[in-house]
Each structure stands twice: as structure tokens, then as C-alpha cells.
Amino acid sequence: MPLSEYTIDPDLDLVLEREVAVPKEKVWEAWTTPEILMQWFCPLPWKTVECEIDLKPGGLFRTVMESPEGQRMDAGNGCYLEVINNEKLVWTSAMEADYRPAPASEDNPTGFFTAIIMLESTDTGTRYSVISRHSSAAHAEAHQQMGFEGGWGTALEQMVSLIKTGSIT
């Protein structure tokens, strides 16, 4: 499904769209294999030190990140809502595995969000589209201020570099 088929609310939704010169199957593999995702998922010098993926609707998506000083940040649990092989991943932080509602947290400035990752083959590789949907303009703005575009964009560049160099282990 292309990005154009979604209604984007500029107050609530953050969007990142890029063309990358790698096949969508490799991008899919990087998003759905914990050992690979841990190599690129957060911008360096931060690193992803834990990842769990149960790739099915109702399945768990969880990552833990670590700062250069060794401080760990549980990036939160999420629940997959939709999984279309090599085309689309949808998950939300509003639920945990098995569609269990996530507990509210005052430590979460961006609130709950839903991420939609879409992959489309192009003549030169993949059109990579992300929508991060929020429940309020304040939460969307907080996510933007935390560096949504820069962070997600840098992580994507790291992923593409790993794919191109064959460095994904």
C-alpha cells in the first residue's frame, strides 16, 4: 500500500519517505530479524542491545537501547497489528503482546503511537515509507522534537549501508 493511500493528519502524524537502492526483501529482513535489527535500529553511538520479535498480528516487538555511557533505555514493548511479508509492518506501543493494553506511563513524552512501515519495489530499489501516528498534537510534536526524522532517517541510512556492504551478520 503506497503512502498516498493513507490520510495524513499533519498535526498528529509524522512521515518519513525515502528511496533506497537496496531490494525491499533485504529491508524486510533487516526489520524482522532481531540479530540484524540490533545492528542498525538506533543512531550511533547509541546501540540496540536487546530485541524480541514475534512476527505475527498480536506478536511482540521490543527493543532496548544503550547510550554511549551505558545507560539503558527500554524503548518499550509494542504489538504487531498487521504483517504483510515484504510489504508492510504495523505495530503500536499502545498494546503489548496478545493485544494486551499497555500500562500508562508518565515517563513517555511522546505518548503511545502506531508505526506503519511500507515497502514498495522501484526500478532502483525500494520506496521506504514510515508513518508515526500519535493521539495528540503535543505527543507528535514531542516525538518530532526528540528527533523523529533525523533519528529514523539515520537508522535507515545505517541499515542501507549494512545491506550494501554485506556487513549484516
Closest by CA position to 92, among listed 113, 117, 61, 106: 113
What mean pLDDT do residues 31-53 have? Answer: 95
The share of the chain scoring above pLDDT 70, in percent, equals 93
Q: Supply the pLDDT for residue 142.
A: 87
pLDDT at 2 over 80: no
What domain range includes position 53?
3-165
Mean pLDDT of the chain: 91
pLDDT at 39 over 70: yes
Written as nine digits, the cell of 42 is 538506533
Q: Supply the pLDDT for residue 53.
A: 97
Task: List the CATH number of the domain containing 47.
Answer: 3.30.530.20
Q: How far apart, in whole angstroms, are the C-alpha atoms of residue 70 and residue 65?
A: 9
Q: What is the pLDDT of residues 125-147, one digit of tens each?
A: 999 999 999 988 988 998 898 88
What mean pLDDT do residues 149-154 have? Answer: 89
Written as nine digits, the cell of 54 is 514475534
CB 63 within 8 A of CB 41: yes
Amino acid at 137: A
Q: How many domains does the chain contain in total?
A: 1
Report the SS3 class of residue 162. helix
CB 77 within 8 A of CB 86: no
pLDDT at 157 over 90: yes
pLDDT at 58 over 70: yes
- Sequence-ordered list of residues with C-beta below 8 angstroms from that of 34, at least 6 positions apart, any chain: 51, 52, 53
Q: What is the pLDDT of residues 80-129, one digit of tens each?
A: 999 999 999 999 999 989 998 888 766 665 668 899 999 999 999 999 99
Phi, psi angle pair for 148, to nearest 5°: -50, -60
